[in-house]
Structure formats: C-alpha cells, structure tokens
Amino acid sequence: MLNIDLDEKNSIAIFQPDGKLSESDFNSAVNIIDPYINKSGKLNGLIIATKTFPGWESFAALLSHLSFVKDHHKKISFIAFVTDSPIGDLAERVANHFVSAQIRSFKYSELQAARTWIIESTSE
C-alpha cells in the first residue's frame, strides 16, 4: 500500500510505502496528484519516505511506477528520497539522468529536513 499525503499549502506530496508497491498504488497517486497539478500547474516537491525500499508486487506494478515517473517528472520541481536504504543514493544518481526535477537523498530520520529543503528551494 502507498500512503499519500498532499500538502496543498506547500505543494508537496509525500509518498510512504507500506509494503510492496502495486499497480493500484500508482493509480491512486494519479487520482490524488493529477487534479492538483491540473489546478496549480505543478507540484513543488515529492517526498518518498520509507525506511527500506519495499519493492513491487509484480512486473506490472514496476511498469506502472515507470509510467508514473514518465508522466509526472516534468511537473515536479524537487524530489527527496527519505530512506536508510542504499537504494536512495542509487535512485538519486540514476534518476538525475532521467528526470528534470532536482533530486536529493536524506536519512529516514530527516523527513522534516526534506520538507524544509523543498520549501526553501521553491521560495528562492
């Protein structure tokens, strides 16, 4: 399951996976985020917060994830990986080559620092 919190005041979405990611998780994300993006034009930031990366339920779930990234990366200014998993640093290095957002990794205990980074970066 993917828990999604949309902070409209700061234009930040927080994704917190709780178990393996499924196709329906990304459909839910689209249903929550797209109406906001259509109204505001963009999302200042996306925070992906998970102590360890849970993986995907299926290959179809992975494809849904990649489709979500492809369809949204130009509409999101900043992405923060908040995790103690080594995949956070790897994702930052790899994603920097494929998405237009600025990306940064934070330790799992630094969720507030990730929010502050996005808020301060968008107010400059």
Q: From CA 89, how far away is CA 26, in angstroms rounded?
A: 22
Residue 14: which region, alpha, beta or left (left: phi > 0; alpha: psi -120 to 50)?
beta
**Domain residue ranges in the chain:** 2-122
The pLDDT value recorded for residue 94 is 54
Q: pTM of whole model > 0.75?
A: yes
56 strand-pairing partners: 21
Give residue for tokens 């970066």. 121
What mean pLDDT is reported for the chain?
86
The pLDDT value recorded for residue 71 is 81
The pLDDT value recorded for residue 91 is 52
The pLDDT value recorded for residue 89 is 53
DSSP code for 108:
G
Span 80-106, pLDDT tens digits: 989 987 664 555 455 554 566 788 989
CATH number of 2-122: 3.30.750
Q: Which of the residues in the chain have pLDDT under 70?
A: 86-100, 124
